[in-house]
Amino acid sequence: MERGKNRHNKICAVQGPRDWRMRLSLDVAHKLFDLQVLLGFDMTILTVQWLLTMSKSVIKQLVSASSSSQNEEHFTSALE
């Protein structure tokens, strides 16, 4: 197998193709899994989806308060 070649699927993001996997620091991973237990979810993806859903309106408010309309378009489209 060839070393250094990225074999993983990509997703299209605002800044171009991105690896769909995320690396989390130990601290963030610990907090994420604690939240997963607290919420009673059996899959981490459900916790991430919950976080995104619950934070969407607040993020939109922050973006709309920003003076840059270009950033607003990028953030708003990324959340939909």
For 25-44, write each residue's pLDDT tens digit: 999 999 999 999 999 999 99
Q: For the residues 53-71, what does the mean pLDDT come to?
A: 80
> Cα-flanking dihedrals φ and ψ of residue 23, to 5°?
-105, 130
Question: What's residue 11's pLDDT?
Answer: 82
Q: Is residue 40 part of a domain?
A: yes
Ramachandran class of 24: left when φ > 0, alpha when ψ lies in -120 to 50, beta otherwise: beta
- Quote the number of domains for the chain: 1
Q: Is residue 43 part of a domain?
A: yes
Note down the domain range covering 14. 10-79
Average pLDDT across the chain, whole number: 82
Q: Which two tokens stand for residue 38?
A: 């607290």
The H-or-E segment that residue 61 falls in is: helix 44-65
Q: Is residue 61 part of a domain?
A: yes
Question: What's residue 1's pLDDT?
Answer: 44
pLDDT of residue 79 exceeding 70, the answer is no
